[in-house]
């Protein structure tokens, strides 16, 4: 079921989400199905459970080859529960981000270039990956939602924050 995505200003987006205690349950599967439906409907790259008002440590993400974004790096479809991120080194990289909870805007955000991440899929099977670049950026953005952090809170240079259609005229840039 497509759910309403909360927008910046809703206090639920600022909460710290709770650890998932039980895997493979009907409730967890239903949540993830709703998250998938909602992300697909909005053509997003990722979604965190608190964005649909469920304060649990669940994120989904995935980016595929799309002729509209020939330079976008692919990211596998992933359900990541109770994630733990460990940056590799101190190096940060700046890049443009958007968010389904901040529609119509984009900003440049510094993120760790490289990291390990750990967590579980919806059945409780462990996930462990080492990633860089755009994949690392997507994971950091989504996991920030679980701490109540929205990307504008990480923007350092507000001369590179604005409306998508003004920043990128004539381009069809997705929101998240």
Least separation in angstroms between residue 101's CB and Ni ion is 6
The burial class, CB within 10 Å (0-12 / 13-18 / 19+), for 152 is middle
C-beta closer to Ni ion: residue 35 or 99? 99
Tokens of residue 17, six digits: 């989400």
The residue from 21, 128, 142, 147 that is catalytic is 142
Q: With contact defined as beta carbons under 8 Å apart, do 81 and 20 qualify?
A: yes
Task: Select the residue whose beta carbon is closest to Ni ion and give its number.
Answer: 99
Q: Which of residues 82-101 bind Ni ion (CB under 5 A)?
A: 99
> Backbone dihedral region of 53: left (phi > 0), alpha (psi from -120 to 50 degrees) or beta?
left
C-beta closer to Ni ion: residue 23 or 148? 148
Q: With contact defined as beta carbons under 8 Å apart, do 97 and 141 qualify?
A: yes
Least separation in angstroms between residue 48's CB and Ni ion is 7
Q: Does 28 bind Ni ion (CB under 5 A)?
A: no
Q: Does 63 bind Ni ion (CB under 5 A)?
A: no
C-beta closer to Ni ion: residue 49 or 99? 99
Output the CA–CA distances (angstroms, integers) from residue 144 to 2, 13, 29, in the order listed: 22, 10, 22
93 is catalytic: no
Q: Does 59 bind Ni ion (CB under 5 A)?
A: no
Binding mask 98-127 for Ni ion (x = CB under 5 A): -x----------------------------
Q: With contact defined as beta carbons under 8 Å apart, do 69 and 145 qualify?
A: no
Q: With contact defined as beta carbons under 8 Å apart, do 34 and 1 qualify?
A: yes
Residues that bind Ni ion (CB under 5 A): 99
Q: Which residues are known catalytic residues?
A: 142
């Amino acid at each position: 079921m497509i759910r309403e995505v909360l927008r910046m200003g809703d206090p639920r987006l600022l909460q710290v989400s709770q650890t998932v205690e039980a895997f493979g349950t009907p409730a967890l599967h239903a949540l993830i199905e709703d998250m998938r439906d909602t992300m697909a409907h909005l053509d997003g790259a990722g979604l965190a459970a608190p964005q649909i008002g469920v304060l649990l440590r669940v994120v989904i993400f995935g980016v595929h080859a799309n002729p509209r974004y020939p330079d976008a790096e692919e990211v596998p479809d992933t359900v990541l529960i109770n994630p733990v991120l460990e940056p590799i080194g101190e190096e940060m990289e700046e890049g443009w981000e958007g968010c389904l909870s901040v529609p119509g805007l984009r900003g440049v955000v510094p993120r760790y270039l490289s990291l390990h991440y750990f967590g579980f899929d919806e059945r409780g099977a462990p996930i462990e990956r080492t990633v860089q670049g755009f994949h690392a950026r997507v994971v950091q953005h989504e996991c920030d939602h679980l701490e109540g952090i929205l990307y504008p809170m990480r923007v350092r240079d507000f001369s590179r924050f604005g409306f998508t259609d003004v920043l990128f005229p004539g381009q069809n840039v997705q929101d998240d």
